[in-house]
């Protein structure tokens, strides 16, 4: 059979024509209907129109309610409200959407989900599960944190980004879980039990990104709430946006408004640590300068008192002045050099925790302040030696040492490339070495 003969036997519709016929069939078939359901995804547009979804436990349908119908009904509603609508079945041709055009809306009582939520809330509150006296307190930043969330959602990306930027030394253990739908409560409960069994974990973050009441319903499960309350480890809830509140937010030890905020609560700011180290350095420099000035003044006073033998004293005094000046210049130059070096290393060494050295440095400063009055020259030499040892340790841990051996790292825009599947043919990449970078194009 020829191609032209085949085409003459087909009735070919355009998309617009098909949608036009569908609209005529639907709108000509159904009269105004009374329909009961629960409101979700409600949007009140600036024009005065309402857009929402009407649903029950079996299905859902999109609805539009124009401004005049909203004014006429005079029935304030929110997500989760159960309503009775008088509506016309329509078909929106440009998008091919079946929808209800609501002419009137009546309150049919609060939604089943909200009633269940309120009942569980009252029950657990009466049992004391929300009592602040039961909540564990975060006394220090955890070294190891478990993340219970979806491994494909936006929440996990936000959490990992915050931990990486604020404190990359914190060890993160992802325990994937289903965070939406009927399987969510059981999946979240199993993930929580897994986190409890890992002895090294110090804290647990459980949550997901924002969504409707139905999307977040898995976090309103009674069994999950009791498990969070009984968990021996500190639990931080991070469900949805700031306005989203679930049952586990009340039973958790800490409630974070968003996943990103939860990561901030459990991660120290390494930049603040560097500021503290810089302040301690400046304090040590001031103490050193003051001590040198006092000792120089003391020597000068003794010089004036000693008048015999004059020539010998003048020679010794001159040598002492030169020695003191040279010592001061040497120490000042060395301190400035090491300060500049520390700033450079601290900006690049993301996997080095300065807290331990900071505590030891504070102890050494206190001890040094007492001993400097007795033997300033010995203290200066000891301080310089210890400082050089600290710099040597920092140099040993620095990634710059790795770069100096010929290694480099690859970026695409602001993203560091760690896997081959992050690159496609034609991408422009930047290869970074210790002494510079070059831009290349991926051929295959």
| pLDDT tens string 299-355 | 878 777 766 666 666 777 777 777 888 888 888 888 888 888 877 777 766 555 666
| 374: containing domain | 270-398
Rounded to the nearest 10 degrees, the angle between the axes of helix 112-126 and helix 222-230 is 30
> Based on the domain organization, do 152 and 247 belong to the same domain?
yes
Q: What is the pLDDT of residues 203-250, one digit of tens each?
A: 999 999 888 777 899 999 999 999 999 999 999 999 988 888 899 999
Predicted confidence (pLDDT) per residue in 394-444, tens digit: 776 666 667 777 778 888 888 888 888 888 888 888 888 878 888 898 888
In this prediction, residue 361 carries a pLDDT of 76
More confident residue, 408 or 182: 182
Whole-angstrom distance, CA of residue 264 vs CA of residue 262: 5
For the chain, give the percent of residues with pLDDT over 70. Answer: 89
Q: Let me know whether 28 and 48 are in one domain.
A: yes
Burial of 441 per CB tally in 10 Å (0-12, 13-18, 19+):
exposed
Q: Is residue 403 part of a domain?
A: no
Cα–Cα dist 230/134, whole Å: 10
- The DSSP call for residue 14 is -
* 287 plus 367 within the same structural domain: yes
CATH of residue 129's domain is 3.40.50.261
Asked if residue 242 belongs to a domain, the reply is yes
Q: Are residues 76 and 24 in the same domain?
A: yes
Number of domains within the chain? 4
Q: Quick one: tokens of 401?
A: 């040492």
Tokens encoding 70: 């909203």
The reply to whether 166 falls in a domain is yes
Domain match, 218 and 343 both: no
Q: Is the residue at 238 inside a domain?
A: yes
Q: Are residues 246 and 122 in the same domain?
A: yes
Placement of tokens 């997901």 in the chain = 208
Pull the structure tokens for residue 71. 């004014």
Query: What is the model's pLDDT at position 356?
Result: 67
Residue 25 has a pLDDT of 81
Residues 284 and 374 in one domain: yes
205 and 305 in a single domain? The answer is no
CB neighbours (10 Å) of residue 122?
A: 10
CATH code assigned at 78:
2.40.50.140
Q: Which among 206, 235, 265 is the end of a domain?
A: 265
Q: Tell me the pLDDT of the chain averaged across its residues.
A: 84
- The answer to the question of residue 143 being in a domain is yes
Nearest to 357 by CA among 387, 324, 385, 383: 387
Q: Please tell me whether residues 196 and 85 are part of one structural domain.
A: no
19 and 83 within one domain: yes
Which comes out higher in pLDDT, residue 120 or 106? 120
Q: Are residues 281 and 244 in the same domain?
A: no
pLDDT at 66: 94
**Residues facing residue 104 across a β-bridge:** 86
The pLDDT value recorded for residue 148 is: 95
Residue 167 half-sphere exposure toward CB, CA atoms < 13 A:
22
């Amino acid at each position: 059979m020829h191609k032209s003969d085949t085409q003459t036997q087909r009735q070919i519709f355009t998309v617009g024509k098909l949608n036009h016929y569908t609209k005529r069939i639907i709108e000509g078939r159904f009269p105004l209907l009374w329909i009961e359901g629960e409101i979700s995804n409600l949007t009140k547009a600036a024009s005065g129109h309402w857009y929402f979804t009407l649903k029950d436990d079996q299905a859902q349908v999109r609805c539009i309610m124009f401004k005049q119908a909203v004014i006429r009904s005079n029935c304030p509603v929110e997500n989760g409200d159960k309503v009775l609508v008088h509506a016309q079945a329509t078909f929106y041709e440009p998008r091919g959407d079946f929808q209800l055009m609501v002419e009137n809306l009546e309150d049919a009582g609060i939604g089943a989900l909200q009633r269940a939520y309120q009942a569980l809330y009252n029950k657990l509150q009466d049992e004391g599960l929300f009592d602040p006296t039961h909540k564990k307190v975060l006394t220090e930043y955890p070294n190891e944190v478990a993340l219970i969330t979806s491994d494909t959602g936006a929440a996990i990306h936000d959490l990992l980004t915050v931990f990486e930027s604020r404190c990359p030394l914190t060890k993160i253990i992802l325990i994937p879980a289903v965070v939406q739908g009927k399987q969510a409560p059981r999946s979240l409960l199993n993930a929580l039990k897994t986190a409890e069994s890992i002895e090294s974990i110090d804290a647990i973050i459980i949550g997901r990104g924002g969504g409707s009441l139905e999307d977040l319903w898995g976090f309103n499960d009674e069994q999950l709430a009791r498990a969070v309350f009984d968990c021996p480890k500190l639990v931080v809830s991070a469900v949805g946006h700031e306005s989203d509140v679930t049952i586990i937010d009340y039973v958790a030890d800490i409630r974070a408004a968003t996943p990103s905020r939860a990561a901030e609560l459990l991660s120290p700011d390494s930049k603040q640590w560097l500021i503290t180290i810089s302040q301690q350095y400046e304090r040590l420099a001031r103490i050193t300068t003051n001590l040198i000035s006092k000792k120089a003044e003391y020597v000068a006073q003794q010089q004036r008192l000693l008048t015999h033998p004059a020539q010998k004293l003048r020679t010794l005094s001159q040598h002492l002045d030169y020695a003191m000046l040279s010592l001061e210049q040497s120490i000042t130059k060395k301190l400035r050099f090491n300060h500049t070096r520390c700033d450079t290393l601290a900006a690049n060494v993301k996997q080095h925790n300065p807290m331990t050295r900071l505590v030891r440095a504070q102890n050494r400063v206190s001890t040094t302040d007492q001993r400097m009055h007795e033997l300033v020259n010995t203290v200066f030499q000891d301080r310089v030696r210890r400082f050089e040892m600290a710099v040597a340790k920092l140099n040993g841990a620095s990634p710059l040492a790795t770069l100096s051996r010929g290694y480099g790292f690859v970026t695409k825009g602001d993203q560091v490339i760690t896997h081959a599947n992050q690159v496609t043919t034609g991408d422009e990449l930047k290869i970074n070495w210790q002494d510079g970078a070059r831009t290349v194009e991926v051929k295959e």
